[in-house]
Structures are given as structure tokens and as C-alpha cells.
Amino acid sequence: MSIKISGVGKRFGDFVALSDIDLDIPSGQLTALLGPSGGGKSTLLRIIAGLELSDAGTVEIEGTDATDLPAQKRNVGFVFQHYAAFRHMSVAANVGFGLKIRKRPKKEIAGKVDELLSLVHLSQFADRLPSQLSGGQRQRMALARALAIEPTVLLLDEPFGALDAKVRKELRAWLRRLHDEMHVTTVFVTHDQEEALEVADQIVVINNGRIEQVGTPDELYDRPSSEFVMSFLGPITMLDGRLVRPHDIEVVAVPFPDARAGRISRSSRVGFEVRLEVNLIDTPQAPPVLVTLTRAEATAKRLDQGAAVWIKPVEADWSCHGR
Amino acid sequence: MAEVLTEPPVTARAAVTGKVITVRSHSGFRWVPRLVVITYLFFLVIWPVALVAKATFSRGLAPVIEALQQPDVLFAFQLTLSIAFWAVLINTVFGVIISILLTRYTFPGRRALSAMIDVPLSVSPIVVGLALLLVYSGRTGWLGGVLESAGLQIVYAPPGMIMATAFVSLPLVIRELVPVLNEIGTDQEQAARSLGASAMQSFLRITLPAIKWALLYGVVLSLARSLGEFGAVKIVSGGVAMRTQTATLLVEERYQQFGLDNTITAYTAAFVLALIAVIALVVVTSLRPKEEYR
């Protein structure tokens, strides 16, 4: 186990940020700490980095007890949401900072900086100031700076949170490829479930200062242990008193066995996807059931607004039965 | 109104068309506040200071040069500069420490400390002088007697004058630094720490470069204030010529004496004091980059 967290707790005044966290983060993997804002995931990451001290519990990094080790002695690479670029230093000086502090020879620093800048595709910007870079470029610089010290673990705190949607998607795909090349144990915090599902080997869902569930993206998506995990990882709707994913509902314009009759009260198209709201005939007061399907399917089945339909969950054992 | 009188004729002719009238009223609206500010500054600052210069050179350059060669004038300026130097040095060191304490740490009484920093700005310097007397005076002060018997004279000597000056100009460095420290935040410092920098390395390589212009500006303000300090220094110095008389005290003394020579000496010293302060401010303002990189 690369990072072993046992019994960690943290309070800010009356607010309990983390309570009694036990977590093992395996070596060489890309782990996501996923959860809503204020759930404690960033606090946990900062405790691992030594930027925050826990009130209770221990943190072990690669077999050594790091609980009382100050940040500068943990050899941890940390990437901040808002880049934390050293504004008065060139891009190259930013990346070389950790090595300069370690008093490495100038030649070695220059070589390492060149290598990392080409890794993050910033070689031609080496002499610029961070203010002359875009947000995505600044974050790649911050990543190169963190990697320069050859960290035992790489920690990223909402690394793409301040970037626009398109850059964010590009960067997370790039982070995944980078991790596959480098194999450094990486933990990143995100509140974006899509980001976690796409990039991570393992996801830790954190809410209200507690760990809700730990597992691979498939395990969490298909076998959520609680309503919270199910609702946080993707869209949900209520059918037959159960939570179901809207794309796991079969919808046909003719009656079929065990299906419930309803009427499409609303239909909206978002790109390739069609989202239907279906009011059931026998429970007209209940909120409508959400159903999503591809546009081709909706067109083929003539599922227009106002049409009568019959619906049924496709894979009953995939749904969540509550706590 | 003045701006109507100075209106160029081209605009006046073009004002017949409706479009230009809106432009004119708009530009008139913009000029009113500027005019008010300039008038205000003129009567409050520019004119009186200019008159000091005029009074200084009313008999030409010769009496000014003669005044500057008087030994007690030279002594007063040397004393003023050395007191200002020590006061600014003390304020710079403590100003940086207190600013970092206020912005980077939470501790009980932080707000009280922050409010206390402003006391020297709100309390009259003469009160500061009296307060220092109560503590450090050799005869009546409750600490002064002890120090004096140990051979250290505070009041009526340079140490007390440095303390009074430092006290009065303490907030200037801190009030420049605190907003900048708050604005740059702690991310860069934390990044430096995670990259292996010690607290001192992080301060020297990350924090100090980020606050250097604010610090320099604070130092210059503090220097200007220290050169001109009068009230507190008057109380604790005694104002003995060639011993504890600073330039401001000399100005007062000479101004109250009879004779044109004395008056010109007073104005000359006042003019030089103002000149040093203005030059320092102008140099720093012109050196400071217009837009700080971020």
C-alpha cells in the first residue's frame, strides 16, 4: 500500500471536515477522491500533503509514518486548483524550483526542466512568465513543477476545476495518458463524477466527512452501496419505488409484459440524446419518470411529446434498493 | 465657468449639431470632478508648498547656501537622517513580521492587534511623546530610572527620539503590506513548501519578491513621515541645539526668532525636508511597474 490513512479526523471549529477516515491507496494507481463541495475530500488531500494537520489518526506514505512530517519533507508533488504559479519566475524557473531548493547542479536542473517542459508540451514557453500562459498551459506547468522533484505521490486538488469545459476534457485525457507512462501514485480530488469515471482506476466517494464507498468506476456505477453514491455518480429517476438510471428503462409505444402505462409529458433533445418525462397513468400525482435514449431510437419508435408509452426497468439487479 | 472659457472654438462651432452636444455635456461632466480635485489640491497643497519655496528663495540663492552651511543646521539634518534611518529600519523589520503574522496566522487577539496597529495614526503624536516620557523618563518614568542607572539614557537622547519616530510611522509599512499579502494568498507559499522549501526559503524566494514594491513604497512613506515627525520628537528630545535638535525642531525654533536670517534658515530647512520626501516618493512611484504581473 502506498498511502495508508488510519483514523484520520479533522475539525474546523465546530465543523467536522473529516471523521475517522481509514483508507488505503494502492501504489502506481490513479485514485479519485470524489464528492460534493465541502464534503472533506480536499481536506483529506491536504492532510496527505502535509499542508493541513489532522486532529487524530496517522498517515503513512510508502511505509514511513508521515503524520508529523512537515510538507517540505514529504516529497509529495501537489497541484493546486488555481495553479499557484510563482508569478515572478519564468516557466522554466517555476519547474526547476524544487530542484534548485535541493541544490542540484545547474546543468542537471536545466536538463530535467527541458525534459519536463517537452513532456507537458511547453518547451517553446520556457522563458515566458506564467501570466503570459493560458489556464491550461499554467496547469501543465504546475504539473511539470510537481513532477520535477520525482515525488513519491502526486496529489492534484481539483486540477481542472478552473478551466473551461473543452480544455478540461483534453487535459484529463492527457493526464490519464501521462499516468500510464509515468506510473507515479496519483490522487486527485474532483466533484465532477464524469471526470472521476473517465480517468480513475479507483474512486473514493466522500460525503459529509465520511467515506461512502471505494471501488473501481464500474463497481461504483453499477453496484452503488447507497442512494447517495448512486445519485452522485450519474442521473437517477424513481420507478416502482426504486431508484433507476434513466438510460436503464425500456420504453415502447405498445403495451408489453410487466410494463407500466404512461404518457410523454415532455421531450427534449440534447445532442445525440433524447430526454423524456413520462407521467404514469395510475400515479398521475407522482413526479414524472425520466427516460433517456438515443435520438435514433426515439425517432424509430415515434416517441413524441404526448404519445402513450409503456415503460419498465431493464436490469432490475443494477438498480439501488436504498440503504 | 473656467472650462467654458477655455473651450476651443472648434467644439463651440460644432456644438450646433445635436450629436456633439451630447459629447460636450459628457466631457463637461468628466471635467467637473477633475477641476474640483485640482482646485482643492491647489489651495491645500500646491500653493502653500510653492510659497515655502518662494519664501526660501526670496533673497536669492546666497542666503540659502549660507543657511545650509550653519553647523547647527547641518547637525539637525544629520540627526534627522540618522533617526529616520533607524526608525525606518525598525519599522521595516517589525512591519514585515507583523504583516505576516496578521495575514498568515490565526491566533486569539489578531483583530485586536490589527486595530492596535492604527493607534499611532489616530492618536496625536504629542500624546505618544507624553506616553514615552511616562515610561522612559529618567526622573519620573517607571522604567527610565532603572535604565538610566544602567547607563542607558532614553529620553532627551537619540534612543527616545528613534522610538517616538518609529511609533508614529509604524502603520505605514504594515498598511501597504497587508492588502498585498492578502491578495497574493497562500497558494504560492504552500506550493513552495510542498516542493521542499523551508519557511525561510519560501519567504525569501516567493513572498518577498511578491511584496517588494509594496514594501519599498511603505518604506518610503515611512521615511517621509519620519523625516517630518515633530510633535512626539519635540516632547522626548528637549530640542537642545547641537544635541537633540532635529530639522523640524530647528524650523520651529528659527521661525519663532526675530530677524530675516532666522526666517530664511527656517524656510530653507523646511524646503529641504519637503524636497527629500517628495523626491523619494517620485522616484519610487516612477520605478514601480504600472501593472504588477500576476
Mutation choice for A interface testing from B195, B203, B215, B293 by most A CBs within 10 A: B195
| Predicted local confidence at residue B42, as pLDDT | 92
For residue A151, the chain B residue with the least C-alpha distance is B195
Give A286 to chain B, closest Cα distance, Å.
49
| pLDDT band of B261, cuts 50, 70, 90 | confident
Overall size of chain A counted in residues: 323
Between CA A68 and CA A243 the distance in angstroms is: 44
Q: Which residue of B has its CA nearest to A47?
A: B194
Q: Whole-number mean pLDDT of chain B?
A: 86
Residue A280 pLDDT more than 70?
yes
Q: Which residues of A touch B (CB under 8 A)?
A: 49-51, 70-78, 80, 82-88, 97-98, 101-102, 129, 131, 142, 145-146, 148-149
Rounded CA-CA distance A133/B291 in Å is 17
Q: Which residue of B has its CA nearest to A86?
A: B188
For residue range A88-129, list pLDDT tens digits in order. Answer: 999 999 999 999 999 999 999 999 999 999 999 999 999 999
The three grid cell numbers given for residue B121, joined into one nine-digit string: 495614526
- Give the ranges where chain B is alpha helix by DSSP (H): 2-5, 9-14, 18-41, 47-56, 62-68, 71-104, 110-117, 119-122, 125-136, 144-149, 158-184, 187-194, 199-202, 208-228, 231-237, 247-256, 260-287
ipTM of the complex: 0.84
Please write the tens of the pLDDT for every residue from B27-64.
Answer: 667 888 899 999 999 999 889 989 989 989 988 889 89
- Full strand arrangement of the beta sheet holding A289-294: A249-252, A308-313, A260-270, A273-280, A289-294
Sign of CA dihedral A83, A84, A85, A87: positive
Mean pLDDT of B67-84: 94
Mean pLDDT across the stretch A24-53?
Answer: 93
Give the helix/strand (H/E) hosting A8: strand A3-12
